[in-house]
A and B are shown apart, each in its own frame.
Chain A
């Protein structure tokens, strides 16, 4: 079943009167339970594509369809509500909130969904346990290693059981051993929870984990592989 489709997606950025065509006609379809890597060199448009799929931004041309609904006519706030419910994000720089503890960071998306404090607490403990951070609940991000911080970010993306988790170069800041552990974790969650993952990378080792590979260059899809 298709969760998200992009239809002939174009995205232009204008900086100092110079127009950059970051995406030039991208059409893809993601189905439930996929574990997909978007692969391409730096500047090829991976982040831009993930941002559009994640409803963080609107395309210059073309459309994104989430659960069968076009986002073209949604307002800023409506997009925010959509992200709140359906999409989880993992970033290269972890992007944790430094003043919150591990547990509070993980809780935040659930709080936004208006769950009861007790439910939020229980689910957050469980999510941290799932990513192997049991006992670290009250640590602040800066008291943890990069790998541990990315695990918190994964738990945070996962906790609301979103349709889709988008991970923009999730291992780029980690050494290859820790990076592999992070991918093992994502793969495990993909298999156990049937969570759909789409991640970007330009790392050969990371590509090996993917079940589906989409190659992108200069804002266009050049090749697709399924394993």
Chain B
């Protein structure tokens, strides 16, 4: 037989929640605070995530990059001998199709001031092309951006502090040139380059602010530089007319770039998108998200245990009433539904309050954010996120809606065992219960 009668579970649950108003309010607040914390944190993490991706793309990688396949496979070792040449036609073809592209030579080494020797990452670049593709040049704090033909280096602010140098000071670049000879054997040549600090940069991407030096590609070509003879490591690519505040979309996907390049992208070369290029960093930032979330999930477990306990007490308190309802012919499953409704309603109302409370807070966080530049300096920029200066949250409506649905369902589920207890006793026993 199937129940064909409509029972006003909602109205009854609402009344039952009114029995112990203080207890109900405390439980609602617990749910609301949990949800508020979660939604707030989620918006924060999403904000940082989007912001750090933007900072990665705009100031470091572009939307995609071309490497020699052999280089990309072991790029953590900075194998400068896996470079490539004859890239001019690639850049031209990209430019003709509305893309900017900047060739770089990336290499490791150290920078020496009279006081210090500090390990540095160096990037040789063509200033004009680099400025079109990436925009950290807007954050040159002192001095100037890299200039063609000048033995000048632009260094990250923290790098400059570590070296104890200012604009105009002399520094010495020390590196080992690794070159493949005709037989494919790698030769090592020590090299020293005398440079002047031409500028100091501090962009919202901490990598540009650290132990990093940017210098003109043209001075690295001969024996005064790195004997590059037209070789480069990578080409950073970005669509010409896109907004910096948006993440790359399909119009600048790897697929699109591949279509444009066709055969110009020689088989020994590969093209990867920004996310693949920076995959270690992206994995690290996702890891951070998980640990933060796990912490809040513990908070929720406590809240939900509280709901289960409240429902158990309610079942015991109402044993006799439940007996009366059942003797009047209310079916056992209706009794269970009644308790599930009641607990679900706590989850629903609580999470709704939490979400509503999160709106003004997140509005502030999305619109104004928090200025962290001082703190970032003290922490040496080690956030794991490529972000500095200002943290801004981002609205995450998925999380908001999901939090209400999940809270309602989980709260209701918490009442299941207590409700089962309510109908496990026989009707006669519940009527005799004192």
Contacts and interface: CB of A to CB of B under 8 A. Distances in A.
B149 interface: no
Interface in B130-180: none
Of A51, A81, A91, A112, the most chain B CB neighbours within 10 A belong to A112
Contact of A97 (B321, B329, B332): B321
A185 to B, nearest CB: 20
Nearest to B330: A112
Contacts of A82: 329
A109 interface: yes
Given A78-B1, A95-B320, A95-B323, A108 B18 contact: no
B361 interface: no
Contact of A95 (B8, B321, B330): B321
A56 B7 contact: no
Interface string B311-331: 000000000110111111111
B431 to A, nearest CB: 7
A99 B323 CA distance: 16
A56 B431 CA distance: 10
Contact of B5 (A91, A95, A114): A114
Contact of B1 (A56, A81, A95, A96): A81
A111 B5 contact: yes
B328 A91 contact: no
A109 B432 CA distance: 21
A193 B428 CA distance: 29
Nearest to B8: A111
Given A111-B5, A114-B4, A80 B428 contact: no
A93 interface: yes
Contacts of A85: 329
Given A56-B427, A97-B321, A89 B328 contact: yes
A214 interface: no
A99 B327 contact: no
A123 interface: no
Interface residues of B, number: 28
A207 B8 CA distance: 40
A116 to B, nearest CB: 11
A54 interface: yes
Contacts of A76: 332
A202 interface: no
A83 B328 contact: yes
Interface in B1-31: 1, 4-8, 12, 15-16, 18-19
A84 interface: yes
B13 to A, nearest CB: 10
B18 A99 contact: yes
A80 B331 contact: yes
A109 B5 CA distance: 11
B7 A111 contact: yes
B249 interface: no
B377 to A, nearest CB: 60
Interface string B106-130: 0000000000000000000000000
Interface string B354-389: 000000000000000000000000000000000000
B426 interface: yes
Interface size class of A (residues with CB under 8 A): 20 to 34
B329 A109 contact: yes
B391 to A, nearest CB: 48
A116 B331 CA distance: 20
Contacts of B7: 111-112
Contacts of B8: 111
Contacts of A96: 324
Contacts of B321: 95, 97-98
B1 A57 contact: no
B327 A54 contact: yes
A58 B124 CA distance: 91
Given A57-B427, A111-B7, A84 B15 contact: no
Interface in B329-349: 329-332
For the complex of A and B, list the 9 residue pairs with the smallest distance between their C-beta atoms, beginning with the closest: A84-B329, A99-B15, A95-B324, A114-B5, A83-B329, A57-B428, A80-B329, A56-B427, A51-B428
Interface of A: 47, 51, 54, 56-57, 76-78, 80-85, 89, 91, 93, 95-100, 108-109, 111-114, 156
Given A84-B328, A114-B4, 20 more contacts: A54-B327, A56-B428, A57-B428, A77-B331, A77-B332, A80-B331, A80-B332, A84-B329, A95-B321, A95-B431, A98-B321, A99-B12, A99-B16, A99-B18, A108-B325, A109-B328, A111-B7, A111-B8, A112-B329, A113-B5
13 contacts: A83-B329, A84-B329, A89-B324, A89-B327, A91-B324, A95-B431, A97-B324, A99-B15, A108-B325, A111-B8, A112-B5, A112-B330, A156-B328
